[in-house]
Amino acid sequence: MRSLSISGGVVFLIGLMALAPASLMAVDSNEIWDECVGVECGAPPSGGVGGGGGGGGPVMVAYELGPYFYLQDDKDNDGAHDIYDNCVNVPNIQSDNRDGDNWGDACDNCPDVVNNDQTNTDNPDNPMIDPGDACDPDDDDDGVPDVNDNCPTVGNADQVDTDSDGYGDACDSDDDNDGVPDDEDNCDLVYNPDQANSGDFTEDVYGDGCDDDLDNDGFADAVDLCPRVQCASNADSDADGIGDACDNCPAVFNPDQGDANADGRGDACNG
């Protein structure tokens, strides 16, 4: 604590006392020098009403030495100041630290394994209820041990791995391994690096590889008689297996759709 003496307008240094950090940790600064008592607290007197005038004795002004004042905080009241306490919120004996990391046994989610980050994937809000990842055999609690889990920190009990690359779909950013990230892939589970989408309809966001209704007419391709032509009904008036919407002779049976002169009208209905 440094002190300044102010007398008759002249300021001079009357003393300098250096205290080691250990002393400040153990003793409250006001116990060393109580410079503020009752209603007298405030800025040092400088004259005027209630200011003590300019003719009194030396005025002592105290300065705290950096952050050491705060070392007196001890949230858990175990005698160890918070800045040095390896379990700030849990009373403990500081030497009880089997793995030698920054956490005492009383609050370490892996007391026998060094894990300063205290990562706990399956119980981040209650770290002491379940072991930390460093010593937890099943970090995501999905029932599959980490050593066999293709997504050890993401729950995926089904272990689905579409592209068989060793990473489960739940934690794989490219499930079909086609080089297009899932969040940009129009067929995230079907390999289609070209992202082909032959549908001419703006509302069609699925690539051909995984689109079961290419013309978006509501009829799945598997049963749509005109899979590339939108139609209000899936009608086939001549029962030739080709829907009216794409049949070049919708009223005449002509499954071969022959059109010798390429005029768009089938031979079966020319003449």
Q: Is residue 118 part of a domain?
A: no
Question: What pLDDT does residue 242 have?
Answer: 95
Tokens 């460093």 identify what position?
134
Question: What pLDDT does residue 188 have?
Answer: 95
Q: Is residue 160 part of a domain?
A: no
Q: Is residue 162 part of a domain?
A: no
User: Which residues does residue 13 pair with via DSSP β-bridges, in sequence order?
Assistant: 4
d(CA 209, CA 191): 8
Q: Is residue 131 part of a domain?
A: no
d(CA 214, CA 221): 7
Q: Is residue 149 part of a domain?
A: no
Q: Which of 25, 48, 72 is the last residue of a domain?
A: 72
User: Which residues does residue 69 pair with via DSSP β-bridges, in sequence order?
Assistant: none
- Measured in degrees and rounded to the nearest 5, phi and psi for residue 11 equal -105, 125
Question: What pLDDT does residue 127 have?
Answer: 64
- In Å, the largest CA–CA distance within the chain is 130
- Measured in degrees and rounded to the nearest 5, phi and psi for residue 3 equal -130, 140
User: Distance from CA of residue 54 to its chain's centroid?
Assistant: 62
Q: Which of 27, 52, 72 is the last residue of a domain?
A: 72
Which parts of the chain sit beneath pLDDT 50?
Answer: 1-37, 45-54, 59-64, 68-69, 71
Tokens 């006392």 identify what position?
17
Asked whether the CA dihedral 207, 208, 209, 214 is positive or negative, the reply is positive
> pTM score, two decimals?
0.51
Question: What pLDDT does residue 271 have?
Answer: 64
Q: Which of 72, 88, 103 is the last residue of a domain?
A: 72
Reported as a single tens digit per residue, the pLDDT across 194-233 is 999 876 665 678 898 899 888 888 999 999 999 889 889 9
If phi > 0 it is left, if psi is from -120 to 50 it is alpha, else beta; for residue 204 that is beta
d(CA 143, CA 15): 69
Tokens of 46: 């400088």
Q: Is residue 271 part of a domain?
A: yes
Question: What pLDDT does residue 13 have?
Answer: 39
Q: Is residue 25 part of a domain?
A: yes
Tokens of 210: 């995984």
Question: What pLDDT does residue 201 have?
Answer: 64
Residues near 226 by beta carbon (within 8 Å), at least 6 away in sequence? 215, 234, 242, 243, 244, 245, 246
Question: What pLDDT does residue 235 have?
Answer: 95
Number of structural domains, the chain?
A: 2
Burial of 8 (0-12, 13-18, 19+ CB in 10 A): exposed
Domain that holds residue 264: 212-271
Q: Is residue 142 part of a domain?
A: no
Tokens of 59: 């005025």
